[in-house]
Structure 1
Amino acid sequence: MGVIVGIDTGGTFTDGVLFDNAANTIIKAAKTPTTHENLMQCIINIMNKLELGKEDDIEIVSLSTTLVTNACVEGKGIRSKLVLIGANRDTVKKYGCEYGMPNDDEILFVDGEIGMGGELIKEPDWNRFKEQLMEDHGDVQAYAVVQMWGMVNPSLELKAKEIIRTVTAKPVICGHELSSKLNFMRRAASCLINSQITPLFQAFLNSVEEALATFGIHAPLVIVRSDAGVMSSDYAKHKPVETMLSGPAASIWGALSLTDANEGIVVDIGGTTSDIAILQNRSVKISDQGATVGDYKTATPSVNLKAVGIGGDSEIQVNAHGELEIGPRRVTPLCALAEAYPYVTERLKEIMQSEGKGSQCLGTFYRIKNHVDIKAYTGQLSNNDRKILAVLDESPKDLGMICEETGLSRYAFTMYDLMSSGLVEKSGLTPTDIMHINGDFTRWNREASRYAVAQFAAQYNFDSDTLGEKILDETGYQIYKNIISFLVEHQKLQFELNDTLLRYAYQEPTGIFSLNMDSHLPVIGIGAPASVLLPRVAKSLNTRFICPEYAQTANAVGAAMGEISVHVHVKIVPYKDMHGSKCFKVIGMNDNKDFDGFDEAESYALSLAIQSAEEEARKRGAHKFDITYNKDDLLIAGSKDNNEKDDDIDESPGLLVESVINVYAKSSLHHYGIA
Structure 2
Amino acid sequence: MRIGVDVGGTNTDAVAMSGSEVVGWSKAVTTPDVTDGIVTAVRAVLDDCGASPDAIGAVMIGTTHFTNALVEGRRLVPTAVVRLGLPATRGLPPFIDWPERLRAVLGDHVYLCHGGHEFDGRLISPIDHDELRAAAQDIVSKGVSSVAVASVFSPVDDSFEAEARDVLAGEAPELDISLSSEIGRLGLLERENAAVVNACLRPLAERTVSGLIGALVELGLDCPLHVSQNDGTLMSADFARRYPVATFASGPTNSMRGAAFLSGIRDGVVIDVGGTTSDVGVLVHGFPREASTAVSVAGVRTNFRMPDVLSLGLGGGSLVRSGNGADGDGGDVTVGPDSVGYELTDRALVFGGGELTATDIAAAAGMADIGDRSTVSDVDAGLVGNAVECMQDMLATAVEQMKTSADPVPVVVVGGGGVLVRDGLAGASETIRPDYFSVASAIGAAIAQVGAETDRVYSMASMTRDEAMAEARSVTSQRAVDAGADAATVEITDIDEIPLTYLPSNAIRIRVKAVGDLATGNGVSGGGVGT
Q: TM-score, normalised by structure 2?
A: 0.84
1:434 maps onto 2:439 in alignment: no
Deviation string for 1:116-163 (max 9, x for gaps)? 233433235554555555556425342112111223333443344344
Q: 1:239 Cα deviation (Å)?
A: 0.5
Q: 1:549 Cα deviation (Å)?
A: 0.6
Change (3 A) 1:327 1:144: farther
Q: Which residue of 1 aligns with 2:418?
A: 530
Q: Which residue of 2 aligns with 1:562?
A: 448
Q: Which residue of 2 aligns with 1:118?
A: 121
Change (3 A) 1:319 1:201: farther
The equivalent position to 1:178 in structure 2, one of 183, 186, 201, is: 183
Q: Which residue of 2 aligns with 1:622?
A: 485
Q: Which residue of 1 aligns with 2:527?
A: none
The equivalent position to 1:267 in structure 2, one of 260, 266, 271, is: 271
Q: Which ranges in structure 2 are unaligned for 5 or more consecutive residues?
A: 326-330, 523-529
The equivalent position to 1:312 in structure 2, one of 316, 321, 324, is: 316
Q: Which amino acid aligns with 1:336?
A: T
CA contact (8 A) 2:14 2:41 kept: yes
CA contact (8 A) 1:100 1:297 kept: no
Deviation string for 1:5-47 (max 9, x for gaps)? 01100111111111112xx211112211111x11111111111
CA contact (8 A) 1:89 1:109 kept: no
Deviation string for 1:555-590 (max 9, x for gaps)? 0111111111334455444xxxxxxxxxx24xxxxx
Query: Is the partner of 1:90 in helix, strand or coil?
Result: coil
Q: Which amino acid aligns with 2:340?
A: V
Deviation string for 1:339-373 (max 9, x for gaps)? 99x9x85xx4xxxxxxxxxxxxxxxxxxxxxxxxx
Q: Which residue of 2 aligns with 1:25?
A: 21
1:518-597 equivalences in 2 (<5 Å): 519-536=407-424, 538=425, 540-541=426-427, 543-568=429-454, 571-573=457-459, 584-585=460-461, 594-595=462-463
Q: Percent identity?
A: 22
1:191 maps onto 2:195 in alignment: yes
Change (3 A) 1:102 1:656: farther
Q: Which ranges in structure 1 are unaligned for 5 or more consecutive residues?
A: 349-427, 455-463, 492-517, 574-583, 586-593, 596-600, 639-653
What is the number of equivalent residue pairs in this alignment?
A: 507
Q: 1:434 Cα deviation (Å)?
A: 2.7
1:329-408 equivalences in 2 (<5 Å): 329-332=338-341, 336-338=345-347, 345=353, 348=354
Q: 1:522 Cα deviation (Å)?
A: 1.3
User: CA separation in 2, counterparts of 1:213 and 1:471?
Assistant: 47
The equivalent position to 1:60 in structure 2, one of 45, 58, 61, is: 58
Query: Is the partner of 2:491 in helix, strand or coil?
Result: strand
User: CA separation in 2, counterparts of 1:164 and 1:17?
Assistant: 44
Q: Which residue of 2 aligns with 1:467?
A: 383
Q: Which amino acid aligns with 1:434?
A: I
Q: Which residue of 2 aligns with 1:611?
A: 474
The equivalent position to 2:156 in structure 1, one of 152, 158, 175, is: 152
1:209-288 equivalences in 2 (<5 Å): 209-288=213-292
Deviation string for 1:596-640 (max 9, x for gaps)? xxxxx12322331232123112101112224347765535466xx
Query: Is the partner of 1:192 in helix, strand or coil?
Result: helix
Q: Which residue of 1 aligns with 2:397?
A: 481
Work out which of the two has the higher radius of gyration on C-alpha atoms and give 1 or 2: 1
Q: Which amino acid aligns with 2:357?
A: T
Query: Is the partner of 1:89 in helix, strand or coil?
Result: coil
Q: TM-score, normalised by structure 1?
A: 0.67
Q: Which amino acid aligns with 2:9?
A: G
Deviation string for 1:400-429 (max 9, x for gaps)? xxxxxxxxxxxxxxxxxxxxxxxxxxxx54
Query: Is the partner of 1:51 in helix, strand or coil?
Result: helix
Query: Is the partner of 2:154 in helix, strand or coil?
Result: coil
Greater shift in the superposed pair: 303-312 or 24-33 = 303-312
CA contact (8 A) 2:54 2:222 kept: no
User: CA separation in 2, counterparts of 1:214 and 1:94?
Assistant: 41
Q: What is the CA RMSD across the aligned residues, in angstroms?
A: 3.5
Query: Is the partner of 1:208 in helix, strand or coil?
Result: helix
Change (3 A) 1:4 1:105: closer
Q: Which amino acid aligns with 2:427?
A: L
User: CA separation in 1, counterparts of 2:484 and 2:100?
Assistant: 31
